[in-house]
């Protein structure tokens, strides 16, 4: 317990690093993932703007990058991170690589939820003269907004898990704190305190996401 008292400043710093990396990755990865998901949805066979070559390339990209374990993805994306954020190590570099890795998973989630919109709703919009992009932004996305919020909420859990592995490149965060000051120094109290904080973060995000999704779906 004395050791934990000594580490309070480091613990809160690690908590802020986790929040920063998760928020950064969720915003950037969420935007990129939404774009990927929309491309997959509109270009698929029978889609709003069917395009076989684009759909093939998009699916190959997602299917290639999505299965790569994050610990290996870091090695692949580190040179790209150096170009974009100016460094391949640290919190911002870690958040950037988490965002890239998450974007492919988010893209597939977005596609799946958009595909779940009843075809009759899409056909009704077409019959009223709506074009592909109008259908996408005024029908497909609004109709699937509740499930999309739940999907993004689920992704947050994976993002927090990735922040722990970002410690391999000096990313910091609660995961790295638990490993360095808890597990490696045989301090179970320190380790479990960090774990409890991570669980609290996940629970709060899940609760907020679920409430928001319910509110949207009740409209």
> Which of 163, 136, 116 minimizes the C-alpha distance to 34?
136
Secondary structure (3-state) at 116: coil
What's the CA gap between 144 and 154, in Å, rounded? 15
* pLDDT by residue, tens only, the chain of 219 residues: 667 777 888 888 888 988 898 899 999 999 999 999 999 999 998 888 888 999 999 999 999 988 888 888 888 888 888 888 888 788 888 889 999 999 999 999 999 999 888 888 888 888 887 788 888 888 888 888 888 888 888 888 888 878 877 766 667 788 888 888 887 778 888 889 888 988 888 888 888 888 888 887 765
What's the CA gap between 97 and 74, in Å, rounded? 7
Total of domains in the chain: 1
Q: What is the pTM of this model?
A: 0.86
What are the distances in angstroms from CA 94 to CA 77, 81, 99, 107?
Answer: 10, 9, 9, 20
Report whether 37 contacts 108 (CB < 8 A): yes
What's the CA gap between 117 and 106, in Å, rounded? 17
pLDDT value at residue 147: 86
pLDDT value at residue 183: 76
What CATH number corresponds to the domain at position 188?
A: 1.10.3720.10
What's the CA gap between 65 and 103, in Å, rounded? 10
Tokens of 158: 């994976």
What are the distances in angstroms from CA 1 to CA 9, 42, 139, 177, 192?
Answer: 14, 56, 55, 16, 12
Radius of gyration from C-alpha coordinates of the chain: 20
| Domain that includes residue 15, residue range | 1-218
């Amino acid at each position: 317990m004395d050791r934990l008292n000594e580490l309070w400043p480091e613990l809160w710093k690690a908590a802020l690093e986790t929040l920063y990396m998760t928020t950064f990755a969720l915003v950037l990865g969420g935007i990129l993932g939404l774009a990927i998901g929309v491309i997959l949805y509109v270009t698929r066979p029978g889609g709003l703007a069917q395009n076989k070559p684009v759909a093939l390339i998009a699916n190959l990209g997602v299917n290639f990058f999505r299965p790569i374990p994050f610990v290996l993805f870091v090695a692949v994306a580190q040179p790209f991170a150096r170009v974009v954020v100016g460094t391949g190590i640290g919190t911002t570099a870690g958040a950037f690589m988490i965002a890239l890795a998450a974007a492919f998973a988010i893209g597939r989630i977005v596609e799946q939820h958009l595909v779940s919109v009843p075809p009759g709703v899409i056909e009704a919009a077409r019959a009223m003269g709506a074009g592909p992009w109008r259908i996408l932004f005024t029908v497909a996305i609004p109709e699937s907004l509740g499930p999309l919020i739940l999907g993004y909420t689920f992704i947050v859990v994976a993002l927090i898990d990735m922040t722990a592995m970002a410690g391999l490149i000096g990313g910091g965060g609660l995961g790295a704190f638990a490993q360095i000051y808890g597990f490696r120094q045989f301090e179970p109290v320190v380790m479990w305190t960090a774990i409890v904080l991570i669980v609290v973060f996940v629970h709060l995000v899940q609760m907020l996401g679920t409430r928001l999704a319910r509110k949207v779906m009740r409209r």
